[in-house]
Amino acid sequence: MPGIGFTIAAMALKGQNLGKKRPDLAKEDVLLVLKYASGFMFFLSFFMIFTPHWLAYAFTDDKNTIEQTSLYLQIVGLSQIPLAFNFVLSGALRGAGDTKTTLITAPMNIFNF
């Protein structure tokens, strides 16, 4: 869910700055959002990879469920930084008005439906 927030931020900032005829500022803002998104998603991935049992235990005390959930969280934790890039860059493309490319390259993204 935080990734979708970063998508919307990149989309709004890119669109506003291109509307102001400031493509240089649009690029700077997208790079800034990308840094924040990568940092935040890295922070989340740290907990997903190194403390998945604690996260799963917050929802259940069944040992089998905790083991399966922990494996899933570790796998998903590895994908957080690439996912941040996907969210921010697709938002930047949408903000620039290129919605067809994001429709083709990210078919599972919620905004494409």
Q: What is the pLDDT of residues 99-110, one digit of tens each?
A: 888 877 765 555
User: In degrees rounded to 5, what are phi and psi of residue 24?
Assistant: -65, -40
Residues contacting 97, CB < 8 A, separation 6+: 15, 18
Q: Is the pTM of this model over 0.85?
A: no
Q: Tokens at residue 92, please?
A: 């930047």
First to last CA, the chain: 17
**Domain assignments of the chain as residue spans, ordered by start:** 2-103
Mean pLDDT for the stretch of residues 21-34? 95
Cβ(94)–Cβ(16) below 8 Å? no
In three-state form (DSSP H/G/I as H, E/B as E, the rest C), the secondary structure along 21-83 is CCHHHHHHHHHHHHHHHHHHHHHHHHHHHHCHHHHHHCCCCCHHHHHHHHHHHHHHHHCHHHH
User: Is pLDDT of 82 > 80?
Assistant: yes
Residue type present at position 28: E
User: Is pLDDT of 73 > 80?
Assistant: yes
Cβ(109)–Cβ(8) below 8 Å? no
**pLDDT score for 113:** 43
